[in-house]
Amino acid sequence: MDFNDIQNAWNNEKSENVILPNNLEKIQAVHTPLGRIKRNLKNELIYQIVSIGAIGFVPLFYDFPEKMIILYYLLFSFYVMVCIYYLIKFYSFYKRLSAITLKTKDSLYETYFDIRLNMELYKTYGFALTPFLILYLIGLFYYTSSKVPGFLSKDFTNYQLITLFSVVVFTMIFMGISLEWWVKKFYGKSAEEIRKVIDELKEE
């Protein structure tokens, strides 16, 4: 293969995978929001693991009856399995971000969509934990109410049922709003900065 063949092969290569020198500064700018996402994700992983451990010790700090301790740790085991499933996915995402080398536009696109995908995964994770939160609140309500004399011998009143239903609905709404705010604050803003760089590269 002579020089002309080499030059023709170079010219025929897909131009969208080539980062021009005047775009290098824009690509480098992506590392700042990407670094924030990695830092926030790392902190999230640490906080989540610490929280799981702390929740596991709750019965030791309160005078739970033996039957309630068994039920608590049965529920806690399911909670831990759900957490492990998602935390492994988040850790894999963190490792991918740490190994990224942004050299082409395609790699930038892939990174952005990977971030967006994991933002949705984070919301799914929060909603997956919502039933555990609801059951925890119901259990707490039952535990505190059972200390009232004659509670176990009484039927639930309409007021108590409405209150319980309201707590469930409020918890679901609260979790939905909180998750949207949390993801937008800690990941959404950085993702939008990366999106702006992508849009600028498309215009050139």
Tell me whether residue 7 is in a domain.
no
**What is the tens place of the pLDDT at every residue in 83-100?**
999 999 999 999 998 887
Tell me whether residue 126 is in a domain.
yes
pLDDT for res 105 = 72
Tell me whether residue 51 is in a domain.
yes
**What is the tens place of the pLDDT at every residue in 150-182?**
555 456 667 667 877 887 888 889 888 999 999
Tell me whether residue 104 is in a domain.
yes
**What is the tens place of the pLDDT at every residue in 60-87?**
877 777 778 888 899 999 999 999 999 9
Tell me whether residue 12 is in a domain.
no
The number of folded domains in the chain is: 1
Which residue, 112, 110, 117, 126, is CA-closest to 44?
A: 126
Tell me whether residue 100 is in a domain.
yes
Q: What is the residue type of 91?
A: Y
pLDDT for res 72 = 86
- When mean pLDDT is compared across 1-15, 45-59, 86-100, the lowest value belongs to 1-15
- The residue range of the domain holding 54 is 23-203
Tell me whether residue 102 is in a domain.
yes
pTM score, two decimals?
0.76
Tell me whether residue 69 is in a domain.
yes
